[in-house]
Structure 1
Amino acid sequence: MAKETSVLDTELDNLPPELRWREWMGRIEAVIFASASPVPRGDLARVVGQGASVDLLIEDIQTDLNDRPYELVAVADGWLMRTRTRFADAIRAAADVGDQHLDLDEFEVAVLASIAYHQPLTRDGLKDIFGKDISRDLIGRLRAQELIATGPRSPKAGAPYSYVTTQKFLMAFGMESLRDLPDRGELEDAGLAS
């Protein structure tokens, strides 16, 4: 028996424009809601008509969600639904979900920031920045939390591994892309970097 495939009517020409727009909004919201990871714009474009602007549909959905306890946010080159931070205590109290914050000390955050700003970066590159060896254990902890991953091999002797930040890093810090990293000059002015 051949598997039957259904074709999604993306144009919705049978609907008046107002209802068509609402249906497209519903489709985008449903796709994002059902996904555990950020949904790229291209994936969303596949469920709406040719002339529909995904960005305008997203803006209308965000407006609809203004008074809701969850929001639609751009992270890691895609869109994701998440609860608003002001409801975190209520969620923990009701669901006993525990604390989901990152378990990083100040030095681990500094190493992670160095990788983010200088990636791909080897352990030797980290040593140049910090003036001391960075342990494999620290790198392993950052990898275990899926905040960094192995990048391309360095062209230096021995071809050491380099490290790059991950999509989970972007999600954890609420960034759409690395372009959202604070400007280094601003960090220096605030006394957070030298």
Structure 2
Amino acid sequence: MKPINPIQLKQLIEASLFVLAKPLSVKAIKETVLAEFSVSRTRIQETLDELQQDYQERGVQLVKIASGYRFQTQEILSPYLQPLWQDKSPKYSRATLETLAVIAYRQPVTRGDIEYIRGVAISSHIIKSLSDRQWIKVVGHKEVPGKPALYATTPAFLDYFNLTKLADLPALTDAASLQGLFDKVQVALDESNDDDSNDDHQDDDQQVNDEQNDSENSSDTTTNELDDVDKETVDVVKNSQNLTH
């Protein structure tokens, strides 16, 4: 194994994080770009800590999230960076945001659980949209008749929202933090929906129809299956400002 000095180590780790579009863990760094060098995980971690300090007051920060470390812009600079992107009209309603909130705060939950908490039926299009973003996945099946799928959030959900664990989610009573979280969801869903321009109009029409039905139809789910859930999550979301179109 080849030796590597502190300057070279920091440069190599910094360059690796810069060029890769996804987070890198200490383990991944050691097994890839540093595979030929004699360097411990402790030394890699210490170097990452130094880099975090180096970037603390810069426009770009090195942050730790669930799956590792990555560079990102300072959140406070976001309003000034918006002109770099074209304006995109929102295509997803409050229903999508509420559904994601219920799954995030009450996971694992079934579709019936979500419908009961929100008080309305949920369209398949909403579940598909969140699944396509890889923010939710099926983690099992509930031991009740029909064995409905249980949904939970994914590591990709944590990564996107700069969370290392679910406990880092803002408190349900913190409306401002929830607003920021949902604003970010809205932007991401809009960007994702623009990727397939040929199919967008049909999908958007279906989304609108589904979500209109979602807001009009009441859920048929019975309460005796849902002793462990409540409506606090969606109540807070509904009381937050500017979560609609």
The Cα of 1:181 is off from its aligned counterpart by 1.2
CA contact (8 A) 2:27 2:41 kept: no
Alignment partners' CA distance in 2, 1:130 and 1:139: 14
Alignment partners' CA distance in 2, 1:56 and 1:75: 17
TM (norm. structure 2) is: 0.59
Q: Deviations over 1:3-28 (max 9, x none)?
A: xxxxx63x43xxxxxxx222222222
Matches within 5 A, 1:3-152: 9=2, 11-12=3-4, 20-46=5-31, 47=34, 49-50=39-40, 52-88=42-78, 91-93=81-83, 96-98=84-86, 104-152=92-140
Change (3 A) 1:72 1:104: farther
Alignment partners' CA distance in 1, 2:88 and 2:60: 17
Alignment partners' CA distance in 2, 1:141 and 1:58: 35
Identity of aligned residues (%): 25
Alignment partners' CA distance in 1, 2:18 and 2:82: 20
1:167 counterpart = 2:155? yes
Change (3 A) 1:183 1:66: closer
1:192 counterpart = 2:236? yes
Alignment partners' CA distance in 2, 1:76 and 1:50: 21
Aligned with 1:117: secondary structure?
A: helix
Q: Which runs of 5+ in 2 are unaligned?
A: 176-231, 240-245
Q: Deviations over 1:132-180 (max 9, x none)?
A: 3222122122223332223323333223222221233223322122121
| 2:25 partner letter | P
Q: Which runs of 5+ in 1 are unaligned?
A: 1-7, 13-19
Change (3 A) 1:166 1:98: farther
> RMSD of the TM alignment (CA)?
3.2
CA contact (8 A) 1:77 1:177 kept: no
The Cα of 1:91 is off from its aligned counterpart by 4.8
> Which structure ranks higher in relative contact order (CA pairs < 8 Å, sequence separation ≥ 6)?
2
Q: Deviations over 1:39-67 (max 9, x none)?
A: 12321344371274433222211222234
| 2:157 partner letter | F
Q: Which residue of 2 aligns with 1:4?
A: none
Q: Deviations over 1:49-106 (max 9, x none)?
A: 127443322221122223433111112331111122455466554xx54358986533
Aligned with 1:128: secondary structure?
A: helix
Alignment partners' CA distance in 1, 2:131 and 2:49: 35
Q: Which residue of 2 aligns with 1:5?
A: none
TM (norm. structure 1) is: 0.71
